[in-house]
Chain A
Amino acid sequence: MNQIAYTLFIAFVSSVLTLAGVVWLSPGQAMAETTPNTVSLQELASHDSADSCWKAIDGRVYDITDYINFHPTDPEVVTEWCGKVATDAWYDKGNGRAHSARATAMLAEYYVGVLEGAQVSGPLEAVEPEPASKPALPSTGEYKDGSYYAESEPSSRGWISMVEISVMNGRIIAVYYDEIQRDEEGNVTTRKSADMNYAQRWRGVSGGVTQLTAFPAYARQLVNTGVPEGVDALSGATGAYDGFQAVVRDALSQATP
């Protein structure tokens, strides 16, 4: 009897912890989901700055304040729509093209609630991308000729994502992506692509792929497809993928004709 009680107690604790762990590890499953919030137009309008930027897209309200700095374009392009119904801007980025499916998925993380009066069934269904919004791959003649450079803010561990993109005859012909660290004077002290020790440690965690092939793979895909949306993440190197996407978008925003 003692053993049964002990076994069942441990099973109970384990399953509750597992449940808690699964919820915690599923970022899309925001706790807000349990209480479908209704956001009034007034409340939406009060979040109209880069300090607190809410937007209504397809009847759902998102707080994208934290994303503004990661957006590929200048912040003003984004903040212009803060506090407003931004459905049109979502489906037309200004060049007649809608945001990507990936962007749609990212949007889910910033979900706040349902816009008052909106006919939305569930609180958190990712906004379906318009079929027409699929990027035409590869796109040619999209970019101005030249070389474009961008780098990110240092991460908590001091890593800076950097990319250089060369465009010739409107097409991306070469991409160099790396992650670097700088000392206080700004001199580059480390670059990941040359750090074999880092690769060795990474290999132990990712089960194979490291920056040695992941970085060139992302660069090659960008050359082949011509758009960041055409680059697929390698499993085991998704962190680098996010960094790559952010700086590539940043760099290409300068190359938009």
Chain B
Amino acid sequence: MTLSRFKPGDVLIVAILAVLLGWHWSLWPELASGSSARVLDALGRLAGVLGLGLMLLAGIGSVRLPGLDRWFGGLPRLWTLHRLMGFGGFILILLHVWSMAFSGVAQSLAVALATLFPPISDWAIWSGWLALVLTVLFLAPTFQFFGRLHYQRWKRLHLLSAPALAFALVHTLSLSRWWPLWLVLGLLAFAAIGWRKLLSPHLGRSDWTVAEVQTLVPGVVELVLDPVDRPLRYEAGQFVYLTPWDERLAAGCGEEHPYTLSSAPDDPQLRLGIKDLGDATHALQTLTPGSRVQIEGPYGDFYERHRPGTGQLWLGGGIGITPFVSGARALRADGREDIQLFYLALDSSRAYYLDELKSHAERCPAFRVEAHYFRQEGPMTLAFLKQHCPDFAQREVYLCGPPGMVNHLKPLLLSAGVPHSALHSEVFDFL
């Protein structure tokens, strides 16, 4: 989980946290007071401020508004931020409770314990406890305290974050003199969760009809969708959440999952390449033509340019070829962008889309395609890259494929002198 490069949205996050900490300026001198009890007390309060701030921002960041994610470098990166903020918030809130209690030890152990467990009438403290207990409940499966949890069940349990935030706000608003900012952040967080869970299933999705289910190879299909009303505006390489409503499906009816679009943005039909990788994707292989699906999106910023003017190197493998199919389909015949695609497949029988990609290469002179078969060549080598694309290390690189492939290629490319900033890959294995 890395967050390469700073994005405009990051500035916003840092600014809000800085305002929160600055707003509590009166606590800062306490940290240098020299009295351990006062230092712990101030530390505890600041940890609570920062912890709740991060939790609220994580909540706001879960809004999944199409377009907004690009401020943060695409939805996968925003999700990484969400996870980091949730993690940081959780740790800080533990520190908050711990510091508040132990700052009382200087007075006496009983005072310390009474800080944690006051009389039941002290509802402000107890609502804080309730928030913490709920937080542990909804984060335990996220951090896999007790092993892995079923994805859909995890998603439902994660909804406990809403009451947890509510109790945390009750706790904070009743104890803090700086309530207006908390109120604003709290309202934004609840608006985000409300949009995500209550409104977006109705307002954020568009209806589509399954026109065709084309089998590319066994276990891989391309869904072709016709719009019911409005078409989708998107860019090549973006992905959407698809919710099928075909009751004949063996699994996943009514469940949303992310899939990369393989169609070109000017195609009136929407196309999605889907590989059989789990229950839901397995069921989609036999989706009934004519049935209804819903689409929410688009998300991501796959073809973001960090070094405009340089050539592009596309490396796709397995179902990770889909954003490149979308990219190739979107290419104009007179396009000047110099693009080299390497299609990494097990062998020629698994190189679906390859024929079509080659036809695009014939259509567009600036676009070249080269297949690399693992069964024949073994893992990709620098020699292979150099042979077919001598200036590969000077290009902006776009990677998409199974983890094994990405984990092999990234170090390989970095060793060849490709800078970090020239590497792009979006992974959404847990969205």
Contacts and interface: CB of A to CB of B under 8 A. Distances in A.
B430 interface: no
A5 interface: yes
Nearest to A123: B108
Contacts of A8: 91, 94
B55 to A, nearest CB: 14
Nearest to A31: B110
Interface residues of B, number: 25
B108 A33 contact: yes
Interface residues of A, number: 20
B6 to A, nearest CB: 21
A106 interface: no
Contacts of A12: 94, 97-98
A155 interface: no
Interface string B100-136: 0110010011111110110000000000000000001
B278 to A, nearest CB: 21
A5 B97 contact: no
Interface string B59-99: 00000000000000000000000010001001100100110
A253 B353 CA distance: 104
B374 interface: no
Given A12-B98, A16-B101, A1 B1 contact: yes
B110 A30 contact: yes
Contacts of B94: 8-9, 12
A136 interface: no
Nearest to B90: A5
A30 B114 CA distance: 11
A5 B143 contact: yes
Given A5-B90, A9-B136, A16-B101, A31 B114 contact: yes
Contacts of A29: 108-110
B145 A23 contact: no
Nearest to B115: A34
B220 to A, nearest CB: 32
B136 A19 contact: no
Interface of A: 1-2, 4-6, 8-9, 12, 15-16, 19-20, 22-23, 26, 29-31, 33-34
Interface of B: 1, 83, 87, 90-91, 94, 97-98, 101-102, 105, 108-114, 116-117, 136, 139, 143-145
19 contacts: A1-B1, A1-B87, A2-B144, A5-B91, A6-B145, A8-B91, A12-B97, A15-B102, A16-B98, A16-B116, A19-B109, A19-B112, A20-B113, A20-B117, A23-B109, A23-B110, A23-B112, A29-B110, A33-B110
